[in-house]
Amino acid sequence: MSIFTKSDLKNKYSWSADGGDNPKLKGEPDSSLLDRTEGYEVLYMIQKLMLKWGLKNVTSGQKIESLIHKCPSNLRSQENIKSWIHKNW
């Protein structure tokens, strides 16, 4: 079971894949663009960062969610957003 689930998210999201989106993301955050309006992409990012950084509580996941949305809009790739969150934790 995941440590952070859809019901833990604070913001409202779209849950349908549009265009070239892939709702079954796998692997590590990479140079792919993160769509901050798509729930499955935001949830994937939160879960990956929590696992990578050893975070175990819902509050930490919600902090990551908040930082995803506070991250400057010119940072769009998963890698850049991950780096910005780490620096601004």
Does residue 24 form part of some domain?
no
Full domain range(s) for residue 72:
33-89
Looking at residue 25, what is its pLDDT?
A: 56
How many domains, in total, are found in the chain? Answer: 1
**pTM: predicted TM-score of the whole model, two decimal places:** 0.85
DSSP letter for 38, please: B
- pLDDT (tens digit, 9 = 90+) per residue, 14-48? 998 665 555 455 566 677 899 999 999 999 999 99
Map tokens 């998210």 to a residue. 9
On the question of pLDDT at 78 being above 80, the answer is yes
d(CA 14, CA 36): 10
Q: Which of 38, 36, 44, 87 is nearest to 66 (CA)?
A: 36
Does residue 25 form part of some domain?
no
